[in-house]
Structure 1
Amino acid sequence: MPAEHITFPGHAGTPLAARLDLPSGPVLATALFAHCFTCSKDIPAARRIAARLASMGIAVLRFDFTGLGHSEGEFSNTSFSSNVADLNAAAQYLASRGMAPDLLIGHSLGGAAVLRARAGIPSVKGVVTLGAPFDPGHVAHNFEDALPEIAAHGSAQVNLGGRPFTISREFVEDIQAETLLPAISELHAALLVLHAPQDAIVGIENAAQIFTTAKHPKSFVTLDDADHLISRAQDAEYAASVIAAWAGRYIDLAPPAPPPGAPEGVLRVTESSPDGYLQDIQSGPDHHAYADEPLAYGGSNLGMSPYGFVSAGLGACTSMTLRMYARRKGWPLLGIDVEISHDKVHAQDATTGNPSRIDQFTRKIYLQGDLSTDQRHRLLEIADKCPVHRTLEHGARVVTLLQDTATQS
């Protein structure tokens, strides 16, 4: 997945570190991602969501808030309001590049921040929250033991996730004074609320409050037994898939006209992560599939193998070809089932004489309907005229070009 590592000035003018995940093809829309409290732009959930959206043509900007991750500035001088201001700065940066955000996505306190920031970003058509609090002051429970010291001395150092952070009195007062009710009730954008019922950090009642306060269009999807950080790969994958499917309903993802010689457009395959074999396959804005390898071969088994897709193409093309022919003839073909199995069998190489193995696809066709023997035999002949069958039988020429891309992760 192409990416740009960039910086832009935050609310206080200090440089904020960001990553812009770009589609391999044309940019059809843009999303802005806000990470959770004291996290960074690079947590697994953010990476997977960005990769999935990029595969369908949505560029994703994720950045570190002031004083966190690789961004400059002092975290002790930040507040919820400054996070909102950083989001607005990020949106302005995108707009300066002609990529004003269509979608805001926020995780935990970042979810509260995108709800609050929406009013200042008019280009936004949809907002997504993951494990977000209805009341930003909820975050204070992470350091409630230090609240007396913060009140007495103006700040205190607390341990969050094994790392030290200085929390100021201004930060506490800011989150306690903030209310999201007006921002949510006047969101003027489609809303998707994602939350896990067993979230031990931000309770599910927060999702209920956000959802009931918002006006339609709004959607709620449970993340089942995911943890607050959505740290398990399968949970991040599920969240990414839901967001991608939902976003396509509210954001115009019309692709440009297909290039000459490719009437069906360009099919794009994007690696989900360098750690496994999962691939996002996107054909236009509407059709997505996963390719993967079985667990036994180091994959995560979330999609068909590449050979599985070849078999699927043969089976689908066979069924479509038979239906077209029977429909044109007016024959009583009521249903079609095609079974494909793929194997390699020994054969003698035609040119070298050396033993080799060739691919064999065994195709079983089941035809339903009151068809005569002659009609069934004719349909069997027609099956061999399926375009994919002919491509596999006659072979195809593959032209491979190595293209220049943006900086890779």
Structure 2
Amino acid sequence: MHAEPLPRPQPLRFDNARGQPLAGVLHKPAGEARAYAVFVACFTCSKDIPVAVRLARALAQHGFGVLRFDLTGLGESGGSFNETDFESEVDDVLRAAAWLDAHAQAPHLLVGHSLGGAAVLEAAARLPEVRAVTTIGTPATLDHITDLLHSETEERHPDGSLTATIGGQRFTFAPHFLDTLARYSPTQAAARLNRAYLVMHAPADSIVPYGQAHALFDAAAEPRAFISLDDTDHLLRRQADVDYCADLISAWASRPLAPARTRR
């Protein structure tokens, strides 16, 4: 038996807090959606990196509607990246959730990869409809990102900003970007999450150490789950790894996303 073909992904636009257009893509399942989800990509990554596209498609095959999008100043979205910071990233997640609420259904699931995981942990507290959160390869402290930026810095500017090459692209990070990293803690966000939480991380992750995932898991309250991604790399470059994650997320989410009468 062959799975029913998925509908063609739907390109879309919505505005950020400054009225600048953000570009997104909505993946819908073949039938009625079990639930809708927002996927947030890794640090400086666009919505079109392979893991974002493949995971959104794989989750759609499991019955989820998934919105992936470009943060301000990245990919096809408007705005200037050097005017952004971690707070604006969280606000972009809230705007994506608002678009889903207005045009389909409020998201019940948030999935974040790397720094995107830190953003969804923060955003979840402001989205009462969210029932479940999954982070993949996410740091427990944003000092990890600060240290990465300083180690990759190629140029320091008189105003305190710095230029670094991340993932083959040059970015300039303003002082306020570093300031907001210092003010937020994914571990503290996990501790106050009060939603079903799935931590996924690879022991051999060369970008975010495996111990960071344990810190997030230890901080979170029940219901929580931890899944080791075996020999997966940070960017989940293999299709088999993406499919594995989607299978696990789908199975795990079946309980927190089930109607209340089913969960009794």
**Fold shared per TM-score above 0.5:** yes
Distance 2:11 2:153 in 1: 37
Call closer, same or farther: CA 1:102–1:4 in 2, change over 3 Å: same
Could you tell me whether the CA contact under 8 Å between 2:155 and 2:163 is conserved in 1? Answer: no
Distance 1:141 1:116 in 2: 21
Match of 1:231 in 2: 237
Match of 2:205 in 1: 199
Could you tell me whether the CA contact under 8 Å between 1:35 and 1:46 is conserved in 2? Answer: yes
Query: Residue 28 of structure 2 aligns to which amino acid in structure 1?
Result: L
Aligned length: 254
Match of 2:216 in 1: 210
Structure 2 residue matching 1:153: 3-state secondary structure: coil
Structure 2 residue matching 1:23: 3-state secondary structure: coil
- 1:114, distance to aligned residue in structure 2 (A): 0.4
Match of 1:92 in 2: 98
Match of 2:114 in 1: 108
Distance 1:148 1:46 in 2: 28
Could you tell me whether the CA contact under 8 Å between 1:67 and 1:74 is conserved in 2? Answer: yes
Distance 1:98 1:59 in 2: 9
Call closer, same or farther: CA 1:11–1:137 in 2, change over 3 Å: farther
Q: Within the alignment, does 1:140 sit opposite 2:146 as a pair?
A: yes
Query: Residue 87 of structure 1 aligns to which amino acid in structure 2?
Result: V
Question: 1:64 is matched with which residue: 37, 46, 70?
Answer: 70
Q: Rg bigger for which structure? A: 1
Q: Within the alignment, does 1:131 sit opposite 2:137 as a pair?
A: yes
Match of 1:175 in 2: 181
Distance 2:58 2:259 in 1: 14
- 1:52, distance to aligned residue in structure 2 (A): 2.2
Query: Residue 212 of structure 1 aligns to which amino acid in structure 2?
Result: D
Match of 1:242 in 2: 248
Structure 1 residue matching 2:173: 3-state secondary structure: strand
CA RMSD of aligned residues (A): 1.8
Query: Residue 248 of structure 1 aligns to which amino acid in structure 2?
Result: S
Could you tell me whether the CA contact under 8 Å between 1:14 and 1:72 is conserved in 2? Answer: yes
Question: 2:191 is matched with which residue: 162, 185, 196?
Answer: 185
TM-score normalised to structure 2 length: 0.91
Distance 1:124 1:161 in 2: 31
Query: Residue 165 of structure 1 aligns to which amino acid in structure 2?
Result: F
Call closer, same or farther: CA 1:121–1:35 in 2, change over 3 Å: same
Structure 2 residue matching 1:208: 3-state secondary structure: helix
Distance 1:148 1:70 in 2: 26
Q: Within the alignment, does 1:40 sit opposite 2:46 as a pair?
A: yes
Could you tell me whether the CA contact under 8 Å between 2:16 and 2:22 is conserved in 1? Answer: yes
Distance 1:137 1:74 in 2: 23
Q: Which runs of 5+ in 2 are unaligned?
A: 1-5
Could you tell me whether the CA contact under 8 Å between 1:115 and 1:184 is conserved in 2? Answer: yes
Distance 1:244 1:145 in 2: 37
Call closer, same or farther: CA 1:44–1:147 in 2, change over 3 Å: closer
For residues 3-402 of structure 1, what are the structure 2 equivalents within 5 Å? Answer: 3-145=9-151, 150=156, 152-252=158-258
Distance 1:225 1:99 in 2: 35
Percent identical among aligned pairs is 43
Distance 2:44 2:111 in 1: 17
Distance 1:208 1:231 in 2: 23
Distance 1:180 1:18 in 2: 25
Could you tell me whether the CA contact under 8 Å between 1:28 and 1:253 is conserved in 2? Answer: no
Which has the higher relative contact order, 1 or 2, with Cα contacts under 8 A spaced 6 or more apart?
2
Call closer, same or farther: CA 1:73–1:64 in 2, change over 3 Å: same
Call closer, same or farther: CA 1:37–1:82 in 2, change over 3 Å: same
Call closer, same or farther: CA 1:111–1:232 in 2, change over 3 Å: same
Distance 2:46 2:152 in 1: 23
Distance 2:157 2:141 in 1: 20
Q: Which runs of 5+ in 1 are unaligned?
A: 255-409
Structure 1 residue matching 2:48: 3-state secondary structure: coil
TM-score normalised to structure 1 length: 0.59
Could you tell me whether the CA contact under 8 Å between 2:55 and 2:243 is conserved in 1? Answer: yes
Call closer, same or farther: CA 1:42–1:222 in 2, change over 3 Å: same
Could you tell me whether the CA contact under 8 Å between 1:146 and 1:156 is conserved in 2? Answer: no
Call closer, same or farther: CA 1:148–1:121 in 2, change over 3 Å: same
Distance 1:222 1:151 in 2: 40
Distance 1:183 1:46 in 2: 23
Query: Residue 240 of structure 2 aligns to which amino acid in structure 1?
Result: Q
Could you tell me whether the CA contact under 8 Å between 2:39 and 2:67 is conserved in 1? Answer: yes
Could you tell me whether the CA contact under 8 Å between 2:153 and 2:164 is conserved in 1? Answer: no
- 1:153, distance to aligned residue in structure 2 (A): 2.9
- 1:166, distance to aligned residue in structure 2 (A): 1.0
